[in-house]
Amino acid sequence: MEVPRRGRVREGLRGYGLIVGMWIRSTMTYRTSFFLAVFGNAAIQLLDFVAIWIMFQHVDALGGFSLPEIALLYGSCSASLGLADLLLGNTDRIGLRVRDGSLDTMLVRPVPLLAQVAADRFALRRLGRITQGLVVLGWAVSVLPVDWSAGKVLLVPVMIVAGAAIFGAVMVAGAAFQFVAGDAAEVQNSFTYGGNQMLQYPPTIFAKDLLRGVVFVVPLAFVNWLPALYILGRPDPLGLPGWVAFLSPLVAFTVFLPASLAWRAGVRSYRSTGS
Amino acid sequence: MRLYLAVAAGGFRRYATYGTATAAGVFTNTVFGFIVAYTYIALWDERPGLGGYDQAQALTFVWVSQSLLAAGALIGGGFQETFQERVRTGDIAVDLYRPADLQMWWLAADLGRAAFQLVGRGVVPLVAGALAFQLALPADPVRWLLFLVSVVLGLVVSFALRYLLGLAAFWLMDGAGINLMAQVVTIFFSGVLLPLTVFPGGFGELVRVLPWAAMLQVPMDVLLGKHSGAGSAAGALGFQAGWACVLLGAGRLLQSAATRKVVVQGG
């Protein structure tokens, strides 16, 4: 039965909403545990930033960047990843579901598979990371001596949403990879969490080849590096023109194309384990 | 003893079956190793000798840490989630009926798991790091042996702490929150984020005597020759053994309280 494209998207979102609602209700059964988890989630990230702060007890600058400048990088990619993680993060469980055969159950339900996989075990505690990222970002914005133009102000929210979309596309592509590779959630994590780890530091400290990789191959540099460099009025180490800072939304849109193609190929190649 | 060896072998084999997951883990540890290595180079360029390490030693810290993360369950994973699930479902009753000590049984299984991950996830990242960067790995076999002993003691301390988490399920029912909190503390206080020798002042002195220091910081310092000399090495290993005894003892106390609770509930 071929449902029109528009209808399928709406169906998907509706299904996603229903499953998410169910998981939120179930999470709230153990309310204390939930609040501990939100707090823990924010605390993991906070200690992460404390480690950077400790580094700055010993140095004035890292790769030529001051602490508030690094806080801008840190806060923005943390908020982006948190948002992507909240909405799509559990796609990395697909390898488990392929292995234990429970993906079959999902395939027979009248909700698009991607919506089900994305909403699988929806973890509201991930609000912790988003909040923490926004707090660090807020601090950075308030102390940075930036000459705020309209473009720069606009770039802050755009960078977070587009960054989340880029991370989201990587998550979908990673999930598609697991159809082929089996349980390989960690490969996906090394691009998302690893990318996040890298983007919190200034691009000046990494090798040029690595930078080319995250600009032209897996375009993680568009999550926050390029927009943030523009906001800070710093030159890009690869010598790209200033307007690339505004390309993030376009890049986010573009990377979803190969990601969704990979997803479809993955679903088509799926053979049940039969268990 | 034979029984516990068999349990450990079972733990080893169980994780050995997850081939793809292991390969993916190796990939992740290697990627993170590269990222952290570049940040350490920037940091040690700015402040040579920071924390008592030169740059090669700092980079060794990065790569050997990546090799130990999975084995020590330092960034999550391990047995405690399974244990908590068994408490929740009541399957733990089966474990209690076994003619084996509950704590020893799980220690054996966890050490088996760790042994696999030490080999399966430890060797490749370290080799990758050694090929790409100038590391300060010792040539002295005695120091490697001491390092290995220190790693095992670190694994026992890690187990003993996580056993307390597992037992907490008897009272909490859902362990997700407490596991996450424990993970936060472990990542920060073991030296995963930054060597504990870099932590400033009195706070630094405090974190270096907490049990988490026994999991990563102490084995790393043993490898890097910070405890050369018999007395100093014995002190480092003794520090780990001391925490292992204290925490295993605490586990036994909590375990007897927990098992009494099972009887009260009727299983």
Residues from chain B that touch A73, judged by Cβ atoms under 8 A, are none
Give the chain A residue nearest B23 (alpha carbons): A184
pLDDT for residue A1: 46
Q: Which amino acid, A135?
A: V
Structural domain that includes position B183: 2-261
pLDDT higher at B77 or A194: A194
- State the complex-level ipTM: 0.87
According to the model, what pLDDT value does residue B104 have?
A: 94
Residue from the list B27, B177, B199 with its beta carbon closest to the beta carbon of A187 = B27
Within a domain: B44: yes
Residue-wise pLDDT for B173-219, tens only, equals: 777 778 888 888 999 999 999 999 999 999 999 999 999 999 999 99
* Residue A3 pLDDT class (50, 70, 90 cuts): low
Write out chain A residues lying below 8 Å of B31, CB-based.
Answer: 190, 194
> How many domains does chain B contain in total?
1
Residue A275 — pLDDT band, cuts 50, 70, 90? low
Domain annotation covers residue B267: no
| Nearest CB partner across the interface for B180, out of A37, A48, A50 | A37
Residue A117: pLDDT over 80? yes
Reported as a single tens digit per residue, the pLDDT across B20-73 is 889 999 999 999 999 999 999 999 999 999 999 999 999 999 999 999 999 999
Q: What integer best gives the mean pLDDT of chain B?
A: 91
Least confident interval from A83-87, B234-238, B258-262: B258-262
Q: For residue B43, tell me if it sits in a domain.
A: yes
How far is it, in rounded angstroms, from Cα B175 to Cα B171?
10
Chain A positions in Cβ-Cβ contact with residue B18 (cut-off 8 Å)? 183
**Which class for B232: exposed (0-12), middle (13-18), buried (19 or more C-beta within 10 A)?**
middle
Handedness of CA A72, A76, A81, A82 (dihedral sign): positive
Q: Which residues of A133-166 are buried (b: 16+ CB within 10 A; e: fewer)?
A: bbbbbebbbeeeebeeeeebeebbebbbebbbbb
Residue A145 pLDDT exceeds 50: yes
**Structure confidence at residue A182 (pLDDT):** 78
Contact between A133 and A78 under an 8 Å Cβ cutoff? The reply is yes
Q: How far is A205 from chain B (nearest CA, A)?
A: 6
List chain A residues with CB under 8 Å of B41.
205
Partner residue opposite B25 with nearest CB, options A181, A186, A201: A186
B17 touches chain A (CB under 8 A): no
Q: Is the pLDDT of residue A236 over 90?
A: no
Name, in order, each residue with C-beta under 8 angstroms of A232's C-beta and a sequence gap of 6 or more. Answer: A69, A72, A144, A146
Contacts of A95 in chain B (CB under 8 A): 20-21
Nearest CA in chain B to A40: B181
C-alpha R_g of chain B: 19
Structure tokens at A70: 């690094």
Cβ of B184 within 8 Å of Cβ of A43? The answer is: yes
Can you spell out the DSSP letters for A148-169?
A: --HHHHHHHHHHHHHHHHHHHH
Is residue A179 scored above 90 in pLDDT? no
Distance from CA of B142 to the nearest CA of A (A): 33
Contact list in B for residue A32 (CB cut-off 8 A) is 177
Q: Which two tokens stand for residue A238?
A: 């690869």
Residue B10 covered by a domain = yes
Question: Is there a domain that residue B266 lies in?
Answer: no
Q: Please classify residue B264 by burial: count the beta carbons closer than 10 Å to its beta carbon, then call 0-12 exposed, 13-18 middle and 19+ buried.
A: exposed
Q: What is the pLDDT of residues A47-91, one digit of tens each?
A: 889 999 999 999 999 999 999 999 999 999 999 999 999 999 888
Predicted confidence at residue B266, as pLDDT, reads 54
Q: Any bridge partners for residue A65, and if so which? A: A62
Q: Who among A62, A182, A198 is closest to B46 (CB)?
A: A62
Per-residue model confidence (pLDDT) at position B165: 94
CB contacts of A192 in chain B (<8 Å) are none
The answer to whether residue A259 scores a pLDDT higher than 80 is yes
Contact yes or no for B24 and A194 at CB 8 A:
no
The stretch B148-154 carries a mean pLDDT of 97
Q: Tokens for B112?
A: 């088996």
Task: Compare all CA atoms of chain B with the CA of A208 and give the residue at the minimum distance.
Answer: B38
Q: What is the mean pLDDT of residues A246-271?
A: 91
